[in-house]
Amino acid sequence: MTRENIEKTINGLLIEEFEIEENAITPGAHLKNDLGLESLDFVDIAVIVQKEFGLTLKGEEMTSIRTLQNLYDYIFNCIQKK
């Protein structure tokens, strides 16, 4: 799984599931403040991440994920460790 594939999957999820405008999706976008994601949306993200990447996101780890770049990096690093 390449970093590009991770970004493509996550960006597709944001566009399809949350109806976020494509031009709002930038690596520096803040998940809550810029993309408007709420707590239950993070559960949806966790479900997709588990289905697509086989990773189980943990609450304490999610607290450090604030931007899309953080999310891409977190998933990439977890996959590298597997």
Partner 1 sequence: MSTLDYSITDLIPQRPPMMMIDTLVHADEKSAGGKLIIKESNIFCHGGFLQEAGMVEFIAQTAAAQAGYLQIEAGKTISLGFIGAVKNLIVNSLPAVNSEIESEIIIDSELLGYTIITGRVRQEGKVLAECEMRIKLG
* List 62, 68, 71, 75, residue binding partner 1 (CB under 8 A): 62
How many whole angstroms separate alpha carbon 65 and alpha carbon 23? Answer: 21
What are the Cα distances from residue 77, in Å, to 5, 28, 51, 70, 72?
A: 14, 18, 17, 10, 9
Of 5, 26, 33, 56, which one interacts with partner 1 (CB under 8 A)? 56
Residue 61 and residue 18 in contact, taking contact as beta carbons nearer than 8 Å: no
In this structure, which amino acid lies at residue 15?
I
Q: Which of residues 19-48 bind partner 1 (CB under 8 A)?
A: 40, 42-44, 46-47
Question: Quick check: 18 binds partner 1 (CB under 8 A)?
Answer: no
Q: Which stretch binds partner 1 (CB under 8 A): 19-27, 28-36, 55-63, 67-75?
A: 55-63
Binding site for partner 1 (CB under 8 A): 40, 42-44, 46-47, 50, 56-59, 62
